[in-house]
Amino acid sequence: MSTSSNITLIMLYLIPLIILSCTKLAFATNFNRDFHILWGNDRGTILNNGKVLMLSLDEHSGSGFQSHSAYIFTRIDVQIKLISGNSAGTVTAFYLGSEGDKRDEIDIEFLGNLTGDPYTLHTNVYTKGEGSREQQFHLWFDPTSSFHTIYVDGKPIRVFRNLESIGVPYMNDVPMKMYATLWNGDQWATRGGTIKTNWTEAPFKAWFRNYKGRGCVWLNGNQSDCSLGRSKTVKHDWYKQKELDLSSQEMLKWVQRNYMVHNYCNDHNRFPNGLPLECAH
């Protein structure tokens, strides 16, 4: 979710977590070993000896899965193939979240659409239980024709900075687990809920593969072995990253200039008493 205490990068390829401390380095490479189906009964299935996970949705239920481990910081890579054809009303979500009412969460949700119309990539950030930080994008490729990575295919889409110094809560003191769900959101997901799910085309299916998590796992609240600056297990430079490099900054500007369709920091109707503090930075 964040590579350091200074920046959170929301990507479809790189989703690092806050660095605090932990007890071991994790390399998650097998869905059978590192995840379990959270809900939906047999609508979620792990295939190909743990290399592929499929979620499905029908008119009775969707499905979801969850990581066994909670992370204090990590880099997560995963490839996703979305529902093809008429996917209106469906929501395929990939997110990291903590437990409790005042949760921290990073949401990446793919909002389905009618055949031929683009998916909407919906992102949100919760800190200490407060969200309402939505940014939305239209993708510049067909995410249903093949598997794609989250950064989206090498391009960062969003940054959330640590601005605790001006009173903005940040995600830096609780571990998060990784989740993915496929569910019916036709009350809001497609054109504000005006386009409903066509159940004659169910079951809808989304696919996940090539999952890798590299970072530190939170175990029993122990904070002794893997804090920033002391860890000998974390050997990748990404965990020290405090800013995007110049090339990534330019890619971020290109994505936001050409494909962003909603930004909460421009939504004066939603925030009539003033935009959130972080919008000025």
Task: In whole angstroms, give the CA distance from residue 229 to residue 73.
Answer: 13
Per-residue confidence band for 110, with pLDDT thresholds at 50, 70 and 90: very high
Distances (CA, A) of 230 to 97, 120, 125, 206, 235: 26, 41, 29, 40, 11
Q: Are strands 7-10 and 44-47 parallel, antiparallel or unpaired?
A: unpaired
Q: Quick one: tokens of 27? A: 């390399």
How far is Cα 22 from Cα 29, in angstroms, rounded to an integer? 19
Neighbours of 235 (CB within 10 A): 9
Query: Higher pLDDT residue, 2 or 41?
Result: 41
Nearest to 29 by CA among 214, 206, 207: 214
Q: 186 vs 27, which has greater pLDDT?
A: 186
For residue range 43-100, list pLDDT tens digits in order: 999 999 999 999 999 999 999 999 998 887 777 788 999 999 999 999 999 999 998 8
What is the mean predicted confidence (pLDDT) over 124-129?
93
What tokens were used for 144?
């249903």
Mean pLDDT check: name the lowest of 10-19, 135-144, 150-159.
10-19
CATH of domain 7-221+240-273: 2.60.120.200
pLDDT recorded at residue 9: 56
Q: What is the mean pLDDT of residues 172-187?
A: 92
Chain segment 221-279, per-residue pLDDT in tens: 654 344 433 334 444 455 556 677 889 899 999 999 999 999 999 999 999 999 999 99
pLDDT tens readout for residues 3-54: 344 556 554 333 333 333 334 444 546 899 989 999 999 999 999 999 999 9
Point out the residues that are catalytic: 105, 109
Q: State both tokens at 55.
A: 């979620």
**What 3-state DSSP class applies to 169?**
coil
**Across 104-129, average pLDDT:** 93
Give the residue-averaged pLDDT of 145-153: 78
CB 256 within 8 A of CB 249: no
Distance CA 244, CA 51 (A): 31
Domains in the chain: boundaries = 7-221+240-273
3-state secondary structure of 261: strand
Q: Which range in 31-45, 152-166, 168-182 is most confidently predicted, on average pLDDT?
A: 31-45
Q: In 10 A of CB 62, how many CB atoms?
A: 24
Is 152's pLDDT higher than 70?
Answer: yes
Predicted confidence at residue 6, as pLDDT, reads 55
Neighbouring residues of 149: CB distance < 8 A, sequence distance ≥ 6: 12, 13, 77, 78, 79
Give which of 8, 24, 6 is closest to 214, Cα–Cα: 24
